[in-house]
């Protein structure tokens, strides 16, 4: 019994360990906040500048602005908690700065999905312009990363996840217009379904080679959804654009899944 009590950490030791862990966590988060402070400030200004006019001059109201700000806080928190530790001293780099500001452009568009009953034509056109700008800037961050020599796994993942989020948001907005059935949501959900499937079939988590096809189809999906979202576009064209984008997406995933299956490691077969 005495030996057991000697080996067990005392309450003061446990409190000291917890305090040390909390201090380390605060220091890490604080370091990231300092590293990203300019981007956070500019992003917040962007979100407010884009959301406030819609709040004041349309029927969206204060609830829309509150939603946009909450989404920005969630986005910022996710970036701070997942950014590499090296960013605390080196900074995120120009490419990640561009991606973060692009994400700030996506926030007001995403906030609209939470207010489907207030989506008047003027609001849709305003946010279409914002989404188009975010799409135009896609690719600029990759070019900046290559030019600055700061190509990182975090940056590539950040860019990819932002593209996937924008496509999902656009798919939701298209569905909410009533022009296209709920099947249009598959354009935004298939990619997340692929990720979930990889938890069971580990070979789906394999690294795919770079592909111009995937990059092109990402743009095609976004453009097709933007067309389908435009208020003056007839229903038949909205359906055709969305259906074409979905068909191309299914084809692209089929090609990638086939490649991953052919190049899977033998050990992964046992797991599915």
Lowest-pLDDT range of 42-51, 61-70, 204-213:
204-213
Q: At 120, is the pLDDT very low, low, confident or very high (cuts 50, 70, 90)?
A: confident
Q: Count the neighbouring beta carbons within 10 Å of the beta carbon of residue 262.
A: 8
C-alpha–C-alpha distance, residues 192 and 171, integer Å: 13
Phi and psi dihedrals of 92, rounded to 5?
Answer: -75, -20
- Does 251 score more than 50 pLDDT? yes
Global confidence as pTM: 0.84
Alpha carbons 233 and 179: distance in angstroms, whole number: 9
Specify the pLDDT at position 194.
Answer: 96
Rg (alpha carbons) of the chain, rounded to whole number: 22
Half-sphere CA count of 190, side-chain side, radius 13 A = 20
9 pLDDT band, cuts 50/70/90, is: low
**Is the pLDDT reported for residue 146 higher than 50?**
yes
- Which of 23-37, 192-206, 256-270 is most confident? 192-206
Between CA 129 and CA 213 the distance in angstroms is 26
- pLDDT surpassing 50 at residue 239: yes
The pLDDT > 90 percentage for the chain reads 54
């Amino acid at each position: 019994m005495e030996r057991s009590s000697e080996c067990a950490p005392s309450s003061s030791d446990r409190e000291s360990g917890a305090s040390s862990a909390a201090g380390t966590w605060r220091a890490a988060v604080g370091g990231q906040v300092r590293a990203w402070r300019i981007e956070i400030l500019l992003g917040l200004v962007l979100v407010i500048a884009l959301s406030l006019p819609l709040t004041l001059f349309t029927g969206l109201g204060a609830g829309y602005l509150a939603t946009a700000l909450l989404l920005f806080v969630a986005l910022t928190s996710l970036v701070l908690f997942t950014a590499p530790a090296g960013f605390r001293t080196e900074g995120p780099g120009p490419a990640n700065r561009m991606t973060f500001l692009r994400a700030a452009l996506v926030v007001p568009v995403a906030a609209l999905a939470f207010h489907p009953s207030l989506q008047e034509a003027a609001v849709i056109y305003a946010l279409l312009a914002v989404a188009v700008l975010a799409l135009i800037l896609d690719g600029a961050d990759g070019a900046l990363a290559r030019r600055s020599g700061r190509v990182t796994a975090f940056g590539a993942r950040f860019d990819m996840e932002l593209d996937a989020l924008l496509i999902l948001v656009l798919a939701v907005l298209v569905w909410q217009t009533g022009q296209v059935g709920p099947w249009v949501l598959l354009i935004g959900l298939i990619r997340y379904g692929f990720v979930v499937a990889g938890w069971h079939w580990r070979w789906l988590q394999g690294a795919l080679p770079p592909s111009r096809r995937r990059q092109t189809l990402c743009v095609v999906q976004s453009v097709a959804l933007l067309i389908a979202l435009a208020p003056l576009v007839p229903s038949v064209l909205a359906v055709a654009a969305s259906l074409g984008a979905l068909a191309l997406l299914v084809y692209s995933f089929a090609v990638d899944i086939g490649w991953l299956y052919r190049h899977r490691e033998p050990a992964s077969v046992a797991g599915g």
